[in-house]
Amino acid sequence: MILKTKQSTLKGEILIPASKSHTIRAIAIATMAGGESLLFNPLLSDDALSCVEAAKNFGADITFDSGHYRIKGTGGKIIPKNHLINVGNSGTTLRIFTALASLCDEKISFDGDHSIRTRPMEPLLSALSTLGVSTESTGGKCPLSVHGPMKGGKTTIHAVSSQFLTALLIACPLAEEDTEIVVEVLNEKPYVDLTLDWLKKQQIQYEQKGYEWFKIKGKQHYTPFQCQIPSDFSTATFALLAAAITGSEILIKGLDFSDSQGDKAVF
């Protein structure tokens, strides 16, 4: 078979799919909130669906209708429906929900596909252990388990993946006591900014000194919310480059240039 192409142009408008990073953070926070949250325009991907299943296992009631998720949260009280949670291929879900599971006074285990079993978890597990959580793992990777509740205190995180710090920032407001986090190494700062934006929207009390030190007040809570999940800047770059290469004019919809996504720098 021979395929031939000829020079062409683009015309029209495109609505960019939602950000995976925002979608998973929104589901996690709605899961821990008390009451009903509405998430409009969420990303419908395998990773996002793995996050939804993890949230349901925590006790959240989640339905999808007319393009939005309706999530009735747990109010911070995790009642596991299944003590083994399979996160598929979603590393973000694994990291965030491992930290959240550490708030529960029952043992909760996590596993995933072959790729997930190769991803490091030791930095996060070590930090959680310092905060009073019992942890088990397979050489610092999945399968793993955590058994809380998280007490709080002072810990150190080697955030070679920003997801480790994000997981602590989301979980620690619900700990029994205040938490002090010392960050030794941090990659991917824009993803931490994105997480902090969510904490600010939730009026979570915390202090920070750059990206090296955070102090988070304990015994806080998440509140239900309604939000439009922002579109993903990295996905939008494909449309942007296609228009640039072909000399076309198109309308790209759904992007929020006040958002913390690091990939907006491309624009």
User: For 99-151, how does the pLDDT look when each residue is reduced to its tens digit (9 = 90+)?
Assistant: 999 999 999 999 999 999 999 999 999 999 999 999 999 999 999 999 999 99
- Which has the higher per-residue pLDDT, 188 or 222? 222
Both 73 and 192 in one domain: the answer is: yes
Does residue 210 share a domain with residue 111?
A: yes
Taking the mean position of all CA atoms in its chain, how far away is CA 98?
A: 11
Same domain for 82 and 208?
yes
pLDDT digits (tens, 9 = 90+) for 2-52: 877 777 787 888 888 899 999 999 999 999 999 999 999 999 999 999 999
Burial class (CB in 10 A: 0-12, 13-18, 19+), 18: buried
Q: What pLDDT sits at residue 189?
A: 94
Q: In the predicted model, is pLDDT for residue 265 greater than 80?
A: no
Structural domains of the chain, count: 2
Write the pLDDT tens digit of every residue in 41-61. 999 999 999 999 999 999 999
242 and 162 within one domain: no
Kindly indicate the confidence band of residue 253, based on its pLDDT and cuts at 50, 70 and 90.
Answer: confident
Domain that holds residue 35: 18-228
> For residue range 196-230, what is the model confidence (pLDDT) as tens digits?
999 999 999 999 999 999 999 999 999 999 999 99
Say whether both 240 and 144 belong to one domain. Answer: no
Beta strands in 75-205 (DSSP E): 84-86, 107-111, 134-138, 141-147, 153-159, 179-186
pTM (two decimals):
0.93
Q: Do 67 and 10 share a structural domain?
A: no
Q: Which residues contact 14 (CB under 8 A, 6 or more apart)?
A: 239, 250, 251, 252, 253
Contact 233, 266 (CB under 8 A): yes
Does 197 share its domain with 159? yes
Same domain, 97 and 210: yes
Q: First-to-last CA distance in the chain? A: 38
Q: Are residues 172 and 154 in the same domain?
A: yes
Res 192: pLDDT = 97
User: Band of the pLDDT at 232, cuts 50, 70, 90?
Assistant: confident
Q: Are strands 68-72 and 36-40 parallel, antiparallel or unpaired?
A: antiparallel
